[in-house]
Structure 1
Amino acid sequence: MITTVTMNAAIDKTYYLPAFPHGKVSRVRQYLAAPGGKGINVAKVAAQLGAEVTASGIVGGMNGEIIKKQLDDMSIAHQFVAVEGESRLCLNIIDEETGSSTELLEPGPVVDNRALDAMVQTMSALARTSKVVCISGSLPAGAPADYYIRLVGAAKKEGAYVILDASGDALRFGLQANPDMIKPNEEEVAALLGTGIRDEQELLRAMEDLLREYRMERVCVSLGGAGSLTVTSQGRYRAVTPPIQVVNTVGCGDSFVAGMAVSLLKQLPAEEGIAMAAAAGTANALSAMAGSVDPDTFRRLLGQVEISRM
């Protein structure tokens, strides 16, 4: 089983407008709504790829109940910690005239020590029956910056393979618990090592430094439309994805993580796992909804991803 953790779950709404002028009334032509937050996006895509998955994290209020109901409708198991306050709404406004995307992200509820302790207990229980645990996204208000040390540690203690997809201090502290895989961007790699990165070779060496320093198995960096780079103890890999007409970029990184998690669940070789991750991220870019992959599109793209050793 795969378990995903979203500490600040959300309802994601995407509004499509013919145009989005500032300071004027705009009428929405179409909108989509779905449970969201990075970990929930991972759960949705992993389920679409045929994996058994449980979504966990923190929810609150009526929005939290809606999130759980929507996951029920998707036949995705869940085990959340409930808190007072309302889970957030995240709005993505698509201006169809310019193709631009504007995101408005609410802060979400404030959590207390009771909820944080309960989440660690929930993590331990779920990790006992999970091969892979994906901890994704930002921390809610009230959680200390080093909280992911506790969650990563709890999951690893139970023998799960842990993917940590976070940024800033949450990632920096979380690394101290030695997750098995991280997916930073180039700027985050540089910030973690306190150094500048001038070219791809320096980026690869920096990824290898992180791999050794924190005793990880994989470090992946997305290159957007140019694919991705992955460093493992077995070597360096480049994934090149086919050119596409992008519909939506929100959730592509989460879909990448989902593809990797499914490959780990299936115990596939590194090259096949990287290809699955790249194909899932690209398939999400062809969907209007964040964290949504059409299985047929995924399979078609999987055959077009090129993996090379470096």
Structure 2
Amino acid sequence: MIVALTPNLSLDRTLRLDRALVPGQLHRVPEVSVAAGGKGPNLARIVRAFGGETCVAGVVAGHNGAHFRALLAAEGLSGVLEDTAGETRECHILMDGASAHPTEINEAGPAYDADAVARLLARLPAGRVAVCGSLAPGTAPDAFAAMLRALGSPVVDSSGAGLQAAIESGAGLIKPNEHELEALTGQGTVASARDLYRRSGVPVLLTRGAHGAAYIGAEVLEVQAPMVEVRNPVGSGDSLLGAFLYARQRGEPLEAALRLAVAAGSANALLGGPLRFDPAVARDLVPRTAVSIPA
């Protein structure tokens, strides 16, 4: 079981605009999709697509929270959810067909609720926990670190204070992208990830966008991504992590797991996001990945 715990769940609205985005002007939306959103649900979709056992965990609120529950159930994804005051946030993904990357507009979400989090942690099933995404507003770094310690050695995919707390609490793995690693260490490179691992003992799965990913731990390995036509890159990092955790939980060696992970991230970008993910496409891309051992 891979438990995808997201501290700040959302409703993700993907809007396909009728023309290139121009600030200050009217745009019409010929196509819209709404999904139970956040990094954890995206990760869970990929694990399930490959045939793994998974569930989504987090705190929801208000009418949007009820909508989130309904959407998750409609997909057939298992959820361990607690309610709090306020309103689950909405995140808007604007696709205009012209920009290389969508425009994303994310609301803040409901405030951190220590009681709801405690109830949630008490209900989590046994399994590998991946804590994914930004922190709820008002989350104290020490409260987040305490939650991570209570979870044992979780995987953490966050940024800023969340990533720092993961290092300080001795997470089992962190998954920053290059910008997030640069904010943490001053450089978003494999060399800085090596130094971080030496200092903290926390392995790093460094995602590098179209360039692939690198794993830095007791072993160091880099995988170059195949070239694909990018339709929607949103969720590619989540897809990469989901495939990596799935493969490692099945006992796959590091190289095979990292190659599948990079292929899954590329497949996500090619197919248009986690809702359109096809594991067969990811597996077909694996031979087009390239493995190297960084100097």
Amino acid at match of 1:16: R
Q: Which residue in 2 is equivalent to 1:82? A: 83
Q: Which residue in 2 is equivalent to 1:225? A: 210
**Superposition pairs of residues 50-65 of structure 1, within 5 angstroms:** 50-65=51-66
1:38–1:136 Cα contact (<8 Å) kept: yes
Q: Which residue in 2 is equivalent to 1:136? A: 132
Per-residue CA shift, 1:167-217, capped at 9, x if unaligned? Answer: 001111221111111111234334433x456xxxxx33321222232222x
Q: CA deviation at 1:2?
A: 0.5
1:228–1:278 Cα contact (<8 Å) kept: yes
Measured in 2, the distance between the counterparts of 1:162 and 1:138 equals: 15
Q: Which residue in 2 is equivalent to 1:209? A: 195
- Taking only aligned residues, the RMSD between alpha carbons, in angstroms, comes to 1.8
Q: CA deviation at 1:154?
A: 1.7
* Among 244, 250, 260, the residue aligned to 2:228: 244
Amino acid at match of 2:195: D
1:183 and 2:175 matched: yes
Q: Against the structure 1 CA distance between its residues 196 and 225, is the aligned structure 2 distance closer, same or farther, given a 3 Å change threshold? A: closer
1:18–1:97 Cα contact (<8 Å) kept: no
Q: Which residue in 1 is equivalent to 2:5? A: 5
Name structure 1 gaps, 5 residues minimum: 198-202
Q: CA deviation at 1:69?
A: 1.7
Q: Against the structure 1 CA distance between its residues 186 and 97, is the aligned structure 2 distance closer, same or farther, given a 3 Å change threshold? A: closer
Q: Against the structure 1 CA distance between its residues 149 and 292, is the aligned structure 2 distance closer, same or farther, given a 3 Å change threshold? A: farther
Q: Which residue in 1 is equivalent to 2:253? A: 269
Per-residue CA shift, 1:77-107, capped at 9, x if unaligned? Answer: 1101111211111101111245552111111
Per-residue CA shift, 1:222-251, capped at 9, x if unaligned? Answer: 2211111221202x2111121111001111
Q: Which residue in 2 is equivalent to 1:38? A: 39
**Superposition pairs of residues 86-235 of structure 1, within 5 angstroms:** 86-98=87-99, 101-122=102-123, 125-126=124-125, 129-130=126-127, 132-156=128-152, 162-193=154-185, 195-196=186-187, 203-216=189-202, 218-234=203-219
> Which deviates more, 61-70 or 87-96?
61-70
1:255–1:291 Cα contact (<8 Å) kept: no
> Which deviates more, 97-106 or 21-30?
97-106
Amino acid at match of 2:14: T
Q: Against the structure 1 CA distance between its residues 99 and 191, is the aligned structure 2 distance closer, same or farther, given a 3 Å change threshold? A: closer
> Which deviates more, 19-28 or 8-17?
19-28
Q: Against the structure 1 CA distance between its residues 174 and 146, is the aligned structure 2 distance closer, same or farther, given a 3 Å change threshold? A: farther
2:132–2:157 Cα contact (<8 Å) kept: yes
Per-residue CA shift, 1:119-151, capped at 9, x if unaligned? Answer: 3333xx42xx21x21101111113212333122
Measured in 1, the distance between the counterparts of 2:215 and 2:100 equals: 31
1:278 and 2:262 matched: yes
Measured in 1, the distance between the counterparts of 2:273 and 2:205 equals: 24
Name structure 2 gaps, 5 residues minimum: none
Show structure 1 runs of 4+ deviating over 3 A. Answer: 97-100, 289-292
1:242–1:301 Cα contact (<8 Å) kept: yes
Per-residue CA shift, 1:7-28, capped at 9, x if unaligned? Answer: 1111111111121332232210
Measured in 1, the distance between the counterparts of 2:273 and 2:41 equals: 13
Measured in 2, the distance between the counterparts of 1:186 and 1:97 equals: 25
TM-score normalized with structure 1 length: 0.88
Count of paired positions: 293
TM-score normalized with structure 2 length: 0.93
Q: Which residue in 2 is equivalent to 1:68? A: 69
SS of 1:257 mapped into structure 2: helix
Measured in 2, the distance between the counterparts of 1:43 and 1:167 equals: 20
| Percentage of identical aligned residues | 29
Q: CA deviation at 1:291?
A: 5.7
2:45–2:274 Cα contact (<8 Å) kept: no
Q: CA deviation at 1:300?
A: 0.8
